[in-house]
Amino acid sequence: MSSGPTGAGTGAGGAAPGGAVPGGAADTVVRGAWLLSMGPAGAIRDGAVAFGADGQILEVGPAAEVIAHHPESEVVGDGNGIVLPGFVNAHTHLTEGLITGMGETAILWQWFERVVNPSGRVITREEVTLGTRLKAVEMLESGITTVNDMCCHRNLGSLASLGAVDGLSEMGMRGVVCFGAEDLYPDAPGADVFMAEHEALADRIASEQMIDFRAGIGTVLGITEELFKRTIAACAEHGWAVHTHLAEVREELTESRIEHGCSTIEHSDRVGLLEHEVIAGHCIWCSERDIGLLARHDVAVAHNPVANMILASGVCPVPRLQREGVRIGIGTDGAASNDSQDMFGAIKTAALLQKVHHLDPEAMTAPEVLKMATIGGAEALGLQQSIGSLEPGKRADIQLLDGNGPELAVLHDPFQQIVFGATPRSVAEVWVDGRKRVEASATLGVDRVALAAEAREAAAGIARRGEMKGESAYVGPLEFEKEK
């Protein structure tokens, strides 16, 4: 396993007073009408960030000062846009990159049977790589520089989860990847096969400088006792952190109480899962006892408001979790449960959902949401020493939003305008570890027409092999076509 997703020299220390790394020579300065550091420097009017060719942030401060300190640097930005850290997508499923737009009327369990399981039985490593490349373009152009992914599939032996690493590495994105193992289904192979994929994924990631490994547990109710115990034992042996789903839907609580006499969060505590570093997707149906367990064990939560609304799963008690000090990031969730990887849609929905649910406009504010999408997501993944905020000594994961378009031309309040007004169209430039990945709102090095054509062909193949008739137009007529 890689020691961290940021490579050597990525610690947050070493900054001199005044917001600069002593003796650093910057290669690039990015300036904007506002720099939202999401760190100690706060929001700086007419601010800038300087970073070196090695991808380390060297200085953050007023643009005039930063530019004067680095006169040989390239200056990017005309001073009208907004500079902020790259977004951290705290939870998604890149195995779903080619199965978007199906199952809109299903609740979670129906959606598994209609969409995820049929495709998961046939998908290959190469197809996951392709879907990851496709969704990486969408993520990068939505300002996402880091993604926490759980690959879920049932094509055991194919090592399909390794395709997410292949794709992210090719696209130059930062990430954390796990295999979301579940073995409580007919004809599932023994636990050895699932453990072998965890090991293979960890080995694949070991050579990657910007990708980390976590052990994955798809769902607590979808895993046998043997595989559960072996996964926890492996975490203890190797020091693996965990990525899972918890308390996602109401039916989960009922089934867990019948099976275990308690909630899935309580069951996870009893079997020792929460003794390890855990990030859990959703955490919607939480009792006060559950919330206490999450806080006591410092379990991080990935909030996925768009997918929760599409699947009618419920509303995560984000303000309640925050009051208990629970680390919370925002995720898009998978490309099939959300149908996009648009982080701007996720952050806007996160704010609106809490406001309307609590009938309180102060239930979730723009600065709070933007924090969850940046430094909050980094904290949820334990990466806050390297990413999530613009600070000297951290890595240069940066986005520049265009201030000359209709969304951000007027900046009475930059936080509010980003959360409620910005869209992926607003993203002008993106750097990951100091390397430019988006320029003039387009991902560099990608033939979009060729990628789309390849994705269409592969998506049709998955739908046909998965016999997804009635869900995919590539297999047969859809309901609205039959009505004609």
pLDDT tens for the 484 residues of the chain, in order: 343 333 323 333 333 434 777 667 899 999 999 999 999 999 999 999 999 999 999 999 999 999 999 999 999 999 999 999 999 999 999 999 999 999 888 888 898 899 999 999 999 999 999 999 999 999 999 999 999 999 999 999 999 999 999 999 999 999 999 999 999 999 999 999 999 999 999 999 999 999 999 999 999 999 999 999 999 999 999 999 999 999 999 999 999 999 999 999 999 999 999 999 999 999 999 999 999 999 999 999 999 999 999 999 999 999 999 999 999 999 999 988 999 999 999 999 999 999 999 999 999 999 999 999 999 999 999 999 999 999 999 999 999 999 999 999 999 999 999 999 999 999 999 999 999 999 999 999 999 999 999 999 999 999 999 999 989 999 988 877 776 5
CA–CA dist 78, 75 (Å, integer): 9
Q: What is the DSSP string of 141-179?
A: TTTEEEEEEEE----TTS-TTHHHHHHHHHHT-EEEEEE
pTM of the model: 0.94
Q: Report the greatest alpha carbon distance in the chain.
A: 71
In CATH, 87-380 is 3.30.465.10? no
- For residue 296, the SS3 value is helix
Q: Are 247 and 210 in contact (CB under 8 A)?
A: no
* Residue at token pair 């959300």: 338
| Residues contacting residue 482 through CB under 8 Å, at least 6 positions apart | none
Q: Which DSSP helix (H) or strand (E) runs through 226?
A: helix 225-238
Identify the DSSP state of 355.
Answer: H
Q: Where in the chain is the domain with CATH 2.30.40.10?
A: 28-86+391-443
Spell out a b/e string for 360-398, using b for 16 or more CB atoms within 10 Å of the CB, else e.
eeebbbbbbbbbbbbbbbbbbbbbbbbbbbbbbbbbbbb
CA–CA dist 163, 176 (Å, integer): 13
Predicted pLDDT at 304: 98
Q: Where in the chain is the domain with CATH 3.20.20.140?
A: 87-380
Predicted pLDDT at 291: 98
Predicted pLDDT at 483: 65
7 φ/ψ sector (left φ>0, alpha ψ -120 to 50, else beta): left
Q: Are 457 and 474 in contact (CB under 8 A)?
A: no
Predicted pLDDT at 23: 62
Nearest CA among 24, 5, 29 for reference residue 78: 29
Identify the DSSP state of 3.
Answer: S
Question: What number does CATH give the domain 28-86+391-443?
Answer: 2.30.40.10
CA–CA dist 123, 95 (Å, integer): 8
CA–CA dist 174, 181 (Å, integer): 22
